[in-house]
């Protein structure tokens, strides 16, 4: 079976990828290499990467990020795939501009405000993060944990400062999901929800609940980690292809007489 369908008039299929928190667009580089024949757009969300330390900075309003994503679409209906927190941004954009997002792909979005987690550890950890008074230390701690101590120490001082500055964006992102930012029932796009299985943090449990709640397609891959786009870019690329295919069918249906 062919997962993807061509874009309009034989043009390469278009798709936008949205990264999580904390993260940067370049974490999708390996996935993009898997998606030959596609026009793939990635970008650093406000406060991350090239934007770190410079305006615009997030305030904790998820719809700021939604507006940024909508601007990236530039008026052209395009499937959107979000990893982790990026999936929440993608859903918010779909709520606000459903005509521009014919399909959504979501990999394990952290729906902290729901009762779907198997225990309260994620809610408690997010609340502690939001209560943190030192956002620069927050940025450093998360980056050091992600890349490892040796890699952190090898970074030039300017790069370490940039990662520390991203702590403010991480703090704002987490603050935005302590309470329900929008009704999940209002998310209109056809959706593919991706997840691993057997994870210890409950991301996969929440993804299955979301797929069931939205009557969405579930794309489950045994053993796939939360950071699937880095560890298994071929798996994440498959989710992207499924989403583009779903979007193509949605657009063709809309255009039918």
pLDDT at 201: 87
pLDDT at 64: 94
Q: Is the pLDDT of residue 48 over 60?
A: yes
Decide if 33 contacts 233 (C-beta within 8 A): yes
Lowest-confidence pick of 124-133, 163-172, 179-188, 246-255:
246-255
pLDDT at 133: 79
The whole-angstrom separation of Cα 168 and Cα 105 is 27
Give 53-90 pLDDT, tens digit per residue: 555 778 889 999 999 999 999 999 999 999 999 999 99
pLDDT at 145: 81
Query: How does strand 217-220 pair with strand 104-107?
Result: unpaired
* N residues, the chain: 257
pTM for the full predicted model: 0.91
Q: Please, where are the H alpha helices in 6-131?
A: 29-34, 62-73, 85-96, 121-131
Banded pLDDT at 139 (limits 50, 70, 90): confident
pLDDT at 254: 58
SS (H, E, C) 114-180: CCCCCCCHHHHHHHHHHHCCCHHHHHHHHHHHHHCHHHHHHCCHHHHHHHHHCHHHHHHHHHCCCCC
Residues of the chain above pLDDT 70, percent:
91
Banded pLDDT at 256 (limits 50, 70, 90): very low
Task: Compute the mean pLDDT over every residue in the chain, rounded to the nearest whole number.
Answer: 89
Strand, helix or coil at 105?
Answer: strand
pLDDT at 2: 31
Give 176-218 pLDDT, tens digit per residue: 999 999 999 999 989 999 999 877 789 999 999 999 999 999 9
pLDDT at 238: 98
Lowest-confidence pick of 8-22, 45-59, 102-116:
45-59
Q: Is the pLDDT of residue 173 over 70?
A: yes
- Across residues 158-163, what is the average pLDDT? 87
The whole-angstrom separation of Cα 21 and Cα 38 is 25
- Domains of the chain (ranges; CATH) run 8-111+183-255 (3.40.50.1820)
pLDDT at 14: 96
pLDDT at 4: 39
Give 230-255 pLDDT, tens digit per residue: 999 999 999 999 999 999 887 666 55
pLDDT at 189: 80
Decide if 19 contacts 83 (C-beta within 8 A): yes
| Backbone φ, ψ for residue 219 (5° rounding) | -115, 95
């Amino acid at each position: 079976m062919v997962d993807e369908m061509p874009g309009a008039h034989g043009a390469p299929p278009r798709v936008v990828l949205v990264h999580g928190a904390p993260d940067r667009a370049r974490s999708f580089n390996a996935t993009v290499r898997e998606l030959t024949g596609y026009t793939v757009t990635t970008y650093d969300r406000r406060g991350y990467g090239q934007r770190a330390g410079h305006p615009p900075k997030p305030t904790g309003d998820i719809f700021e990020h939604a507006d940024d994503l909508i601007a990236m679409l530039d008026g052209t209906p395009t499937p959107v795939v979000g990893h982790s927190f990026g999936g929440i941004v993608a859903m918010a954009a779909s709520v606000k501009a459903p005509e521009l997002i014919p399909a959504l792909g979501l990999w394990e979005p952290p729906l902290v405000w729901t009762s779907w987690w198997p225990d309260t550890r994620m809610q408690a950890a997010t609340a502690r993060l939001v209560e943190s008074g030192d956002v620069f230390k927050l940025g450093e701690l998360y980056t050091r944990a992600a890349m490892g101590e040796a890699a952190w120490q090898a970074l030039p001082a300017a790069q370490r400062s940039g990662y520390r500055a991203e702590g403010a964006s991480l703090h704002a992102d987490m603050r935005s999901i302590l309470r329900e930012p929008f009704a999940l029932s209002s998310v209109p796009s056809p959706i593919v929800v991706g997840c691993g299985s057997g994870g210890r943090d409950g991301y996969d449990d929440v993804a299955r609940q979301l797929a069931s709640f939205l009557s969405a397609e579930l794309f489950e891959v045994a053993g796939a980690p939360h950071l699937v786009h880095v560890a298994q870019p071929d798996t994440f690329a498959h989710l992207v292809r499924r989403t583009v295919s779903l979007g193509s069918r949605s657009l063709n249906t809309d255009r039918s007489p």
